[in-house]
Structure 1
């Protein structure tokens, strides 16, 4: 029988066993991380033909019951007359005179691991180990080289692995328990719903074949369990080593947690980790990760291994609440603690940005694009706008101008850099002319140069003064980070981007706008082996496959609703135009349509509008004409408590009807679950088109050139998906019964009818309030 294998990267091994001290994420480290890859490539390129770069090395450490597989990439292996040299490259902000051969135990340890493996593979008795430090500000290098005998490296490695053995044994025990439970696991429900088995089989085949799958599956099929269950099964068969369940909203993360709870009830042993943003999980009011400010950062690495041992031995359900409990118990940073736990988790439930955002993705997993991971992308229709946001960046003149004013008494060189940026943006404002904006298909290389100069000047001063109470420090910090983010995104600029410059009276905004995120999403998916994108609303599927980075080799599946469509009364009132130019003439008609729609059955109703202005105009008229009907309106800015209060109004068995007014595409048009009598009807005013703007028109122009579908890509398809999401709030279970009324003459056009999903084929048109009332009366009587 083949022995079980525990895989660990050399870097993770060294850090786990040898780390100590404080978390000290001084802001320079952010930029250093962005610069690191570029510096490695530069040094490797300059090193000549005898320098083999990024050499993959692996070694199997045999134990009685299992094997430890060590693997990693040496930055360089140099062939010299004196012998072979292992090179480890490190960038630093410190002056090189402060770096000697005692500077970093971890740097030496990592390089010595590579040296040991290389000696074994090539039967060498000795080898040189070299640390190459690159000082970013001066661009000077310092090389420290030491000779090592193989026996010396072997003793070092044995000591390191002996200290890791307790962790490896814990992993092996867990893996055995987990894999046995997966083999015995059965689908955690008595029967599959209609379409559910089909989805589960398709997801399993996709994962095994290392493909991508795009799924439109209406509410009720059970998309979460139907993708997680086959992913867990594929995991147990070693097709993948980790599952990432990616979401846009907290509520969908909870659905994934609940699915695992259900599988655990059926016998599954599986570690799941829910990652929470640093700003939300931090125990301090202000997120400053250094030992001078935070007691959880101070000595974190001295305590974190005890915290890891404790939590891993006692819980497989690593939610935010449990992570916080153990973090407080052991006085460690909860965010960094959660990131460490991610290495031990079988499934990570997290926001899209941990996989896709180039500024914050989890580099511990994705640096080499060779992970055997499965990405399950929930509510994938949300990823289009989120991807544009993640792959775009912007800076504003006002922020740099305020920073310049704030710094005038502190650092003349920084003020000079800020002034040059400010003047450059003034010149850009003049280019905008009367239109107020200008669109470049090329990059602003002069602006990039000015921003780079500013970052260089600002870094050292910020590090020296970050713990002092200096006026203007925060303004400088803000523009420093925005400049770094802007330049990071500039590395991706290509034909799918534009430089969008927008000017006001005294403001200029420069945006690197990712119009088409498909290529970067496709590249990001390569960080794993396979991906399943799923949503109740991916209409049309061909559009979403294209924009989310799919290709002709990928799979897709479009499932029917599992619910009896006779329980949904779907009506189209096409006698009213809600186009922007016609809205003023529609207010009173809309009032009467709402009254007619809610008048035939007592219950709770949601009315969705294309904008707050339109909603408020109709709401005030409705309130005035029908004050006896209980109403409630969505506010433009609502706290978590106010949102909860809004949803708590939807109670079954109320004495009278309630009509709530909301906004299409807003917080109450998707992701809420009002089952049964809590919601019996939705009235959707308009076709949901995004607000006309320069950015939407940029998208339209781009796709018109690309595929002749500019208006559809920029306006129609995103709008229709908002409509479908809102309509999906009504029928949430087999026992639900309700009505959806679509109000707009465009819903009767063939272009829109073609976008109706299969379970909307029974829709009926109405041309008057009398006909509307008659159809609703008949529907409710049948129930």
Structure 2
């Protein structure tokens, strides 16, 4: 098939040809086809881009990633294609702006600093152009603005020198229009003919903005790498696709780490508010009211101010409710809108959204960062109004004074997405059971073609254990015998594996319950203990030190399933040789979870409904955690499922087939076998 001309490796991994052929067929077909690929680590999923390129024809390719760390994998793949075949695909990416920005370190929030400097710079370009009486203007022709660009640092800057050199201004129909400068176009031409990492990009764009240059390159490259928000947020997708000259019907979409897309859609379509957010929105109205407003806008301001004051009362009144208590959207809307004459809830929200744009324009005119706090409030209220007649939308209490409103079913959004593009390739190592994921993503069977690949790594290199009796069921959590069983499983892993191990607990509370025991076992084995930090910024240093332990006696990482360290981290080589999931990581059985369960049971029946709503997310969290261990065919590792429910009906049949086939049931005492198994495999 045609992918062979694009394939950049001397040989194929087991089952890799099957995947590439399926991808090529799907892309050639187009017609809004969807292919879901469940391919365990080591299957060569990234090489699927060779089959996409072979079959795309004149269409363009969009790759959507969950994290910026995944960009390098695709850049490496394109480099290999260019080096080892006669093909020269061009790739651009618009992810990781802080890594691209030459002055990101000057700001606490690089995104906010960038947006504000863009406004200041555009205003400066327009002012100088009009002052000089020109119809076309670039900063390099003007020593006055050139000098201004070098003044100040961070928030004291009056313009961004890199953005200014990336733009030129011209007069069109009496209005000043900003477009890419000739220098930016030249840099974009160089960039698109190379495959540059963010650090290399900054070196190439010595005087221009790397992000703006990459945006220019993205408008004519074969492949554009975007983040999930760019693609899964419907409003943002429309804007980004127009900006990059992407026509949906002529776009091949690749969704990487596709097991995340459903939850990503739910998160994107959830709005959270609290007293502080409402207060900031009221302050925006106060500032706007000081200017001259026409009567219609002033009416909107007065209406919105009244609603926000009542919303503050409501939020305070709900403060004592438990997190994830479901709130009545009818009662909420009655309280907020009852005093409005000629009440029309949907129309009032539309008026608020119009007011958001007025505030945004006002902030830009005042050269302020155009974040509008009222936007979040209006979105929350839009979802509240929708929840009155739509069971796929909930309003609930959050932590502290927080309230949230959001969707619980991503399928309508994902169906609209895949129906709009030429075809969609969904890649993941944990789409098991794949039929259930199809229902979760699209709400129906038969919408997608599905491919499940076996684990290509040798089974002899991994030991898969599941507990016979230990469990984290709440009724057994404080049972002395059960605690002892869990501790013996933990001891077997920490003391039996002579390298780095990780234990993923179902919650921070459970982590703390067993923390002291883990520390005693680690001390006996001369291993250092690492605790998952609450702050994201502390993670790089923790991981660096944890990886260093692999060359010594080893380290013990205590983390939470579904947390910061259980997915998206590459534990390559011997950096992780054993992992245990302590407990079946089900979501807390709150009122919100019960409502979600009821919705899916009504839609898909009890067995499948409970799987989609409750069990499937837990299995995904567990598989992602265990998937950190075996990352190459030469890796050796121990995978432990420390909860008897993993081996029981209702769960075990939904585990990946290779785990079911290799799983050994053990009690706590039998976990002492781990040390002997490690020795035999390494011998």
2:650 and 2:661 map into 1 onto residues whose CA distance is: 17
TM-score (norm 1): 0.68
1:248 and 1:690 map into 2 onto residues whose CA distance is: 22
Tell me which residue corresponds to 2:46.
224
Per-residue CA deviations over 1:628-656 (Å, capped at 9, x if unaligned) read 33232233324446334324423486442
1:626 and 1:778 map into 2 onto residues whose CA distance is: 20
Per-residue CA deviations over 1:708-730 (Å, capped at 9, x if unaligned) read 23332222111111111111122
Q: Which has the higher helix share?
A: 2
2:207 counterpart SS class: helix
Q: Map 1:463-478 onto structure 2 (within 5 A).
A: 463-464=361-362, 466=364, 468=366, 477-478=371-372
Tell me which residue corresponds to 1:577.
471
> Given the alignment of the two structures, is residue 357 of structure 1 paired with residue 233 of structure 2, yes or no?
yes
1:294 counterpart SS class: coil
1:258 counterpart SS class: helix
Q: Judging changes above 3 Å, is the alpha-carbon distance between structure 1 residues 722 and 370 closer, same or farther for their aligned structure 2 residues? A: closer
Tell me if the contact between 1:440 and 1:500 (Cα under 8 Å) persists in the aligned partners: yes
Tell me which residue corresponds to 2:60.
242
Tell me if the contact between 2:431 and 2:437 (Cα under 8 Å) persists in the aligned partners: yes
Tell me which residue corresponds to 1:590.
486
TM-score (norm 2): 0.77
2:236 counterpart SS class: coil
> Given the alignment of the two structures, is residue 215 of structure 1 paired with residue 37 of structure 2, yes or no?
yes
1:733 counterpart SS class: coil
Deviates more, 1:274-283 or 1:199-208: 274-283
1:311 counterpart SS class: helix
1:612 and 1:372 map into 2 onto residues whose CA distance is: 46
Tell me which residue corresponds to 1:515.
408
Q: Judging changes above 3 Å, is the alpha-carbon distance between structure 1 residues 491 and 183 closer, same or farther for their aligned structure 2 residues? A: farther
Aligned partner of 1:425 among 279, 303, 311: 311
Aligned partner of 1:372 among 250, 260, 263: 250
Tell me which residue corresponds to 1:301.
168
Per-residue CA deviations over 1:649-669 (Å, capped at 9, x if unaligned) read 234864424322121112322
Tell me if the contact between 1:204 and 1:231 (Cα under 8 Å) persists in the aligned partners: yes
Q: Judging changes above 3 Å, is the alpha-carbon distance between structure 1 residues 186 and 242 closer, same or farther for their aligned structure 2 residues? A: closer
Q: Judging changes above 3 Å, is the alpha-carbon distance between structure 1 residues 454 and 397 closer, same or farther for their aligned structure 2 residues? A: farther
2:634 counterpart SS class: coil
Deviates more, 1:431-440 or 1:302-311: 431-440
Q: Which runs of no fewer than 5 residues in structure 2 stay unpaired? A: 108-112, 124-157, 170-179, 291-297, 334-342
Tell me if the contact between 2:188 and 2:216 (Cα under 8 Å) persists in the aligned partners: no
Per-residue CA deviations over 1:251-279 (Å, capped at 9, x if unaligned) read 22211111111111113311111212556
TM superposition shift of 1:301: 3.1
Q: Judging changes above 3 Å, is the alpha-carbon distance between structure 1 residues 463 and 378 closer, same or farther for their aligned structure 2 residues? A: closer
Per-residue CA deviations over 1:296-341 (Å, capped at 9, x if unaligned) read 55572345233223331463325433544455424xx443433222
Q: Judging changes above 3 Å, is the alpha-carbon distance between structure 1 residues 460 and 707 closer, same or farther for their aligned structure 2 residues? A: closer
Tell me if the contact between 1:634 and 1:662 (Cα under 8 Å) persists in the aligned partners: yes
Tell me which residue corresponds to 1:382.
260
Tell me if the contact between 1:441 and 1:495 (Cα under 8 Å) persists in the aligned partners: no
Q: Which has the higher strand share?
A: 1
Per-residue CA deviations over 1:398-430 (Å, capped at 9, x if unaligned) read 422344367658727586344312244267566
Tell me if the contact between 1:569 and 1:776 (Cα under 8 Å) persists in the aligned partners: no
Tell me if the contact between 2:503 and 2:582 (Cα under 8 Å) persists in the aligned partners: yes
TM superposition shift of 1:208: 0.7
Q: Judging changes above 3 Å, is the alpha-carbon distance between structure 1 residues 537 and 510 closer, same or farther for their aligned structure 2 residues? A: closer
Q: Judging changes above 3 Å, is the alpha-carbon distance between structure 1 residues 482 and 191 closer, same or farther for their aligned structure 2 residues? A: same
CA RMSD of aligned residues (A): 3.5
Q: Map 1:239-638 onto structure 2 (within 5 A).
A: 240-267=58-85, 268-278=87-97, 281-282=100-101, 283=103, 285=107, 286=113, 287-288=115-116, 289-290=118-119, 291-292=122-123, 293-295=158-160, 296-298=162-164, 300-302=167-169, 304-313=181-190, 315-330=193-208, 333-361=209-237, 363=239, 365=241, 370-404=248-282, 408=286, 411=289, 413=298, 416-425=302-311, 437-440=326-329, 446-456=344-354, 459-460=357-358, 463-464=361-362, 466=364, 468=366, 477-483=371-377, 485-486=379-380, 495=390, 497-502=392-397, 507=401, 509-511=403-405, 513-549=406-442, 551-585=445-479, 586-624=482-520, 627-629=523-525, 630-638=527-535
2:640 counterpart SS class: strand
TM superposition shift of 1:197: 0.6
Tell me which residue corresponds to 2:136.
none
2:386 and 2:98 map into 1 onto residues whose CA distance is: 27
